[in-house]
């Protein structure tokens, strides 16, 4: 049996690398089936042996919405800040928030949770923190159907901005992946990260306009406020779905720039650290 043809097509050169390395996105693409299978595993495992199954994907944001509506909307008086129903405004923010928070938590813990894979098989390590983010999109899609139902119920018709919704979903995913990459790589060495993540997401929610409208933040502080990428994401969602008077350009630009910086930094940091994951995890 002749192997010469195959021999010429596959060639691997192994040596020590030091310093920064370029991303190998072509290789990442070659492994897309593995990414799909790992995301699928995430979903299959999550909903197996659950009586309610995927209903859980909407129970959490719905219950949070009810609590927020009662305490912040009615008792806190935020209801009066907008002409749109407070419940819908909140749910519209909770969806990207849940997508973000779950993605951040799971990708942050992903490398440590998949220690066996990392120490036994080679594949682009980037797949590990990305897979749970992809899986989270399914939960998000289910929640989105509920939101559209609520909008129908309240008689709100989406405007043309809804066409940009996919872009905002990608924005939310990247905003989660950016810190997720940093945290997952750091988690390999410092398990302190695992303890930090729940606190971090909780803290992050308070500085994001989920329970309250952005209007309570004084105008001159809004640009600084938007350094939190989720400000741009949440405001973008509210604009795209519910159509506020004008698109929140400044917060979106600031949030977008911060996300891009963190993401590129995260990708390179991850790439730099990945060669020692198997030795350290």
Binding of residue 202 to another protein (CB under 8 A) = no
Q: In angstroms, rounded to a whole number, what is the distance separating the alpha carbons of residues 38 and 122?
A: 14
Comparing CB distances to another protein, the nearer of 111 and 117 is 117
Q: In angstroms, rounded to a whole number, what is the distance separating the alpha carbons of residues 259 and 177?
A: 9
**CA–CA distance from 266 to each of 36, 126, 178, 252, 274 (Å)?**
22, 11, 6, 20, 12
In this structure, the number of other CB atoms found within 10 A of the CB of residue 7 comes to 9
Task: State the sign of the Cα–Cα–Cα–Cα dihedral 31, 37, 41, 42.
Answer: positive
CB of 131 to another protein, least distance (A): 11
Applying CB under 8 A, the span of 38-46, 61-69, 82-90, 93-101 interacting with another protein comes to: 38-46
Binding of residue 21 to another protein (CB under 8 A) = no
Comparing CB distances to another protein, the nearer of 83 and 279 is 279
Say which residue the tokens 């590990």 belong to. Answer: 128
CB of 81 to another protein, least distance (A): 39
In this structure, the number of other CB atoms found within 10 A of the CB of residue 152 comes to 11
Comparing CB distances to another protein, the nearer of 46 and 222 is 46
What DSSP assignment string belongs to 225-262? HTTSHHHHHHHHHHHHHH--SS--HHHHHHHHHHHHHH
CA atoms within 13 A on the CB side of 188: 27
CB of 176 to another protein, least distance (A): 21
Binding of residue 34 to another protein (CB under 8 A) = yes
Binding of residue 80 to another protein (CB under 8 A) = no
Comparing CB distances to another protein, the nearer of 38 and 242 is 38
Applying CB under 8 A, the span of 66-74, 131-139, 256-264, 265-273 interacting with another protein comes to: 265-273
Q: In angstroms, rounded to a whole number, what is the distance separating the alpha carbons of residues 105 and 179?
A: 10
Binding of residue 13 to another protein (CB under 8 A) = yes
Which spans of this chain sit near another protein (rule: CB under 8 A)?
1, 3-4, 6-8, 10-19, 33-34, 36-38, 40-41, 44-45, 48-49, 116-123, 186, 189-190, 192, 269, 272-273, 275-276, 278-279
């Amino acid at each position: 049996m002749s192997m010469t043809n195959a021999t010429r097509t596959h060639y691997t050169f192994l040596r020590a690398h030091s310093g920064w390395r370029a991303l190998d996105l072509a290789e990442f693409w070659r492994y897309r089936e593995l990414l799909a299978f790992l995301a699928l595993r995430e979903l299959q495992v999550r909903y197996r042996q659950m009586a309610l199954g995927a209903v859980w994907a909407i129970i959490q944001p719905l219950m949070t919405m009810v609590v927020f509506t009662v305490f912040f909307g009615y008792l806190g008086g935020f209801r009066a800040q907008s002409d749109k129903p407070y419940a819908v405004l909140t749910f519209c923010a909770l969806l990207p928030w849940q997508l973000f928070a779950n993605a951040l938590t799971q990708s942050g813990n992903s490398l440590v949770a998949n220690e066996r894979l990392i120490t036994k098989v080679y594949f682009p390590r980037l797949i590990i923190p990305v897979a749970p983010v992809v899986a989270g999109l399914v939960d998000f899609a289910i929640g989105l159907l509920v939101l559209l139902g609520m909008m129908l119920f309240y008689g709100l018709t989406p405007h043309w901005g809804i066409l940009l919704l996919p872009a905002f979903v990608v924005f939310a995913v990247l905003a989660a992946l950016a810190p997720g990459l940093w945290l997952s790589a750091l988690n390999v060495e410092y398990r302190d990260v695992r303890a930090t993540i729940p606190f971090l997401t909780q803290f992050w929610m308070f500085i994001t306009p989920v329970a309250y409208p952005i209007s309570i933040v004084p105008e001159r502080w809004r640009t600084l406020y938007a350094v939190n990428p989720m400000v741009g994401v949440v405001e973008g969602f509210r604009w795209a779905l519910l159509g506020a008077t004008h698109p929140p350009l400044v917060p979106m630009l600031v949030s977008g720039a911060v996300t891009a910086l963190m993401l590129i930094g995260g990708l390179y940091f991850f790439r730099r650290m990945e060669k020692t994951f198997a030795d350290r995890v």
